[in-house]
Structure 1
Amino acid sequence: MQSSAFALSPTTPFLNTRKLTNRSSYLRFYSISLSSSKKSFDLNPIRDDSGLPAPRSLPFRSLSRFNSWISSPPLASDRGKKSFQAEATSIPESAGESAKSSSLNRTLELGVLFGFWFLFNIYFNIYNKQVLKVFPNPVTVSTFQFFMGTVLVILMWGFNLYKRPKVSGSQLVAIIPLALVHSLGNLFTNMSLGKVAVSFTHTIKAMEPFFSVLLSLLFLGEMPSIWIVASLLPIVGGVALASITEASFNWAGFWSAMASNLTNQSRNVLSKKVMVKKEESMDNITLFSIITVMSFIMCFPLTLFMEGVKFTPAYMQTVGLNVKEVCVRSVLAALCYHAYQQVSYMILQRVSPVTHSVGNCVKRVVVIVASVLFFRTPVSPINSLGTGVALAGVFLYSRVKRIKPKPKTA
């Protein structure tokens, strides 16, 4: 039997410790016996004089080399960490700035729209009053305003300034009653403006919430809360106080303004009662455009029947009117009427109905003050108090509309 033995140590020239990947490679082996019969390996570690296994110690030199080999550089330097943190914190700051910028732009846009809404309304009432004062034909004036609105709608659709809608038969049937009450509302408003002062007409029109609650109760079955009923008291009381002390008061102007309130609020109730299918719904601007065209079609034959053809240069000259002045102011009044209605619907698409109602209350105050200053309408202190109380009631009504009744528990 032949055997061979090898003594291996880390100092063997042809073994490089840097290439060893196992710590057991640093152990010194005493002998490796190879037997041809048993074919086994006998690996015995070196023992000391006491017979115990020698401790597995590594040479200091080899250990230092091993430590230097397994050591690794840091993943990122401090400078890299600082730059990474700076970039991470800059993201939410830019997002916050963009959100603030978007909110500011939206606020500015709403401010501009509200400003144009008030401005167009002021000029409409002033020019309209000037025309009706010398040309007391409210049906003709109303029809001309719808005619100018129809021209603007056709131009808007023709030049693709706004998408031309595809109206179905069911939509036309639903819009007809809305166009009817819209026409009557404008007609009664012009009748009132021709009879009484602009400020008094708008004071009476402050009673719109009263008719809204009444019609909603009668036709929709909506029971008003105690807060809504309480807010109606100053409205009714303020209008009554202003009517008693109004210098230009007459019953024709008073009941015309009341009829305008009734028809305008009937339009709102009908829009809830006569619902169009969701797949056939349209936006507010398109709806108003269609209502304007239909109102002109309805009012034109009514004008011929009630007042005849009077909006002509020949007729105006026979009654001693300045044709150019009347025509220019009529056109401006019609343009302002259509413009403030369009802007009103644009605002309604951007804000809640309650916010729009508050804006409408402020608009009425602005119109009353502007008309009093422009026409130098005599206003007594009691009349001013009544108007102020009525408008305060309208504002209170718009606020309590936010209060939702608590659901009844079984």
Structure 2
Amino acid sequence: MQSAAFSLSSPCSIPSLKPHKFASTAGFDPIRVSCSSSVPKRHDHFASSHAVSVSTLPNRFWPLSSSSSLPLRPWNLVPSDSGPERFEVRATAAETAGEGEKSGSLVKTLELGLLFGLWYLFNIYFNIYNKQVLKVYHYPVTVTVIQFAVGTVFVSLMWTFNLYKRPKITGAQLAVILPLAVVHTLGNLFTNMSLGKVAVSFTHTIKAMEPFFSVVLSAMFLGELPTPWVVGSLLPIVGGVVLASVTEASFNWAGFWSAMASNLTNQSRNVFSKKVMVKKEGSMDNITLFSIITIMSFFLLAPVAIFMEGIKFTPAYLQSAGLNVKEVAVRSLLAALSFHAYQQVSYMILQRVSPVTHSVGNCVKRVVVIVSSVIFFKTPVSPINALGTGIALAGVFLYSRVKRIKAKAA
């Protein structure tokens, strides 16, 4: 027994032993052996006092041999956390996460930019096609009903094919939404009435006074008194609209007051939303709310159109009026599709940005629409008229900046 024993005290003194034949499959040796000469001597002393007998080893282990050219190293099943590989993996993961965040932010920015571009584009198409129809077909109530009807069909298809989740509406919710649908209907109706009477650029110049109505109505019904900065930003808006109005070539009072009524109803809708629909339980998102309002507006205005204007959109009537049926029908459809699309995209943007940012975007949209309509329709614009429009739009932008600063301060 003693002759078969060997000592671990010297790494070069391990005798060469003949391997025995084992019936079982070979396994790894759990005994950790180092053949390096750099091992401290205190370890050698410890090993020399503890000789290991080969005969005491289980048969499943291979005997140790000094003739092996590969050093034996321990096999640790638990990976080390302190090695350079671990550090590199962690650093790479952090870099990947940072790149993922930057990539996601870039995608969101591009998506938002695309939505703003579509918002402006659909607005341009709507105002051009709508004006072309209203110039030859003088029935703004019927035109507005057609636009709500196309929107209703679009929403129905969207819900039917699960393109957007169909909401579960209660009677209490409908009762709250009904006043919003009424003012939404009136706002769009008055806008179409104004577009039928005056130039597109003038209608949108007047509609730049929306912030003025918003401040007045908020002070009257919500008790929100404006700051001196807000009041100061309203002065160029009012002054610019007045200057543009007195120099407008297509000015008439029907178009002017229709645009003013549109401002009043649209801003009363916003104020009413703040007053009635503040943090109600089970509140719906903006797109769903707009979809329901569109359907309700159609059913509210359709009887009014029949009562006031009759059924005047039939091919027989259009032919008798000397109109091209196909041309009027196609442009009415395109105007209606653009109308619903730009409002849908507007609500999609509102879900992604703050109301103040949306207001700034709306100001830019108005500039784009005015410029594009002047170019397309070759609207005569005097220098003073252009100056008044520019002052009014600059006031709207200033108002938006003041609201942004106020929101940050709050």
Aligned to 1:101: 103
Aligned to 2:218: 216
Query: Structure 2-normalised TM-score?
Result: 0.80
Aligned to 1:5: none
Aligned residues of 1:174 and 1:276 also touching (Cα < 8 A): no
Aligned to 1:306: 308
- Work out the CA distance in 2 between the residues paired with 1:70 and 1:356: 79
Following superposition, the deviation at residue 163 of structure 1 comes to: 1.2
Superposed, 1:354-373 pairs within 5 Å as 354-373=356-375
Aligned to 1:148: 150
Letter of the aligned partner of 2:44 in structure 1?
S
1:381 to 362, 380, 383: 383
Relative to 1, partners in 2 of residues 1:289 and 1:396: Cα closer, same or farther, differing over 3 Å?
A: same
From the CA coordinates, give the structure whose radius of gyration is larger.
1
Following superposition, the deviation at residue 66 of structure 1 comes to: 3.4
Relative to 1, partners in 2 of residues 1:264 and 1:405: Cα closer, same or farther, differing over 3 Å?
A: closer
Aligned to 2:196: 194
Letter of the aligned partner of 1:328 in structure 2?
V
Runs of at least 5 residues in structure 2 that lack an aligned partner in the other structure? 1-5, 10-39, 48-72, 77-81
Aligned residues of 2:180 and 2:273 also touching (Cα < 8 A): yes
- Is 1:331 aligned with 2:307? no
Following superposition, the deviation at residue 82 of structure 1 comes to: 3.4
Following superposition, the deviation at residue 162 of structure 1 comes to: 1.1
> C-alpha offsets along residues 338-375 of structure 1, whole Å, 9 cap, x if unaligned?
00000000000011111111100010000001000000
> C-alpha offsets along residues 117-160 of structure 1, whole Å, 9 cap, x if unaligned?
00000000000000000001101100111111111111111111
Aligned residues of 2:120 and 2:368 also touching (Cα < 8 A): yes
Aligned residues of 1:171 and 1:280 also touching (Cα < 8 A): no
Aligned residues of 1:117 and 1:344 also touching (Cα < 8 A): yes
Aligned to 1:265: 267
Relative to 1, partners in 2 of residues 1:65 and 1:209: Cα closer, same or farther, differing over 3 Å?
A: closer
Letter of the aligned partner of 1:184 in structure 2?
L
- Work out the CA distance in 2 between the residues paired with 1:372 and 1:392: 18
Structure 1 segments of 4+ aligned residues over 4 angstroms from their partners: 16-19, 73-76, 405-408
Letter of the aligned partner of 2:145 in structure 1?
T
Runs of at least 5 residues in structure 1 that lack an aligned partner in the other structure? 1-15, 20-63
Relative to 1, partners in 2 of residues 1:75 and 1:367: Cα closer, same or farther, differing over 3 Å?
A: same
Relative to 1, partners in 2 of residues 1:363 and 1:405: Cα closer, same or farther, differing over 3 Å?
A: closer
- Is 1:66 aligned with 2:50? no
Aligned residues of 1:131 and 1:329 also touching (Cα < 8 A): yes
- Work out the CA distance in 2 between the residues paired with 1:254 and 1:400: 28
Aligned to 1:251: 253
SS in 1 for 2:375: helix
Relative to 1, partners in 2 of residues 1:70 and 1:286: Cα closer, same or farther, differing over 3 Å?
A: farther
SS in 2 for 1:301: helix
2:88 to 72, 86, 89: 86
- Work out the CA distance in 2 between the residues paired with 1:139 and 1:94: 57
Aligned to 1:54: none
Aligned length: 351
SS in 1 for 2:406: coil
SS in 1 for 2:405: coil
- Work out the CA distance in 2 between the residues paired with 1:287 and 1:249: 36
Following superposition, the deviation at residue 67 of structure 1 comes to: 4.2
Relative to 1, partners in 2 of residues 1:302 and 1:255: Cα closer, same or farther, differing over 3 Å?
A: same
Superposed, 1:44-193 pairs within 5 Å as 65-69=41-45, 81-193=83-195
- Work out the CA distance in 2 between the residues paired with 1:66 and 1:336: 88
- Work out the CA distance in 2 between the residues paired with 1:85 and 1:146: 61
Relative to 1, partners in 2 of residues 1:379 and 1:66: Cα closer, same or farther, differing over 3 Å?
A: same
Please tell me the root mean square deviation across aligned C-alpha atoms, in Å.
2.7
- Work out the CA distance in 2 between the residues paired with 1:308 and 1:365: 36
Which piece of structure 1 moves more, 143-152 or 268-277? 268-277
Following superposition, the deviation at residue 402 of structure 1 comes to: 2.3
Aligned residues of 2:129 and 2:332 also touching (Cα < 8 A): yes
SS in 2 for 1:238: helix
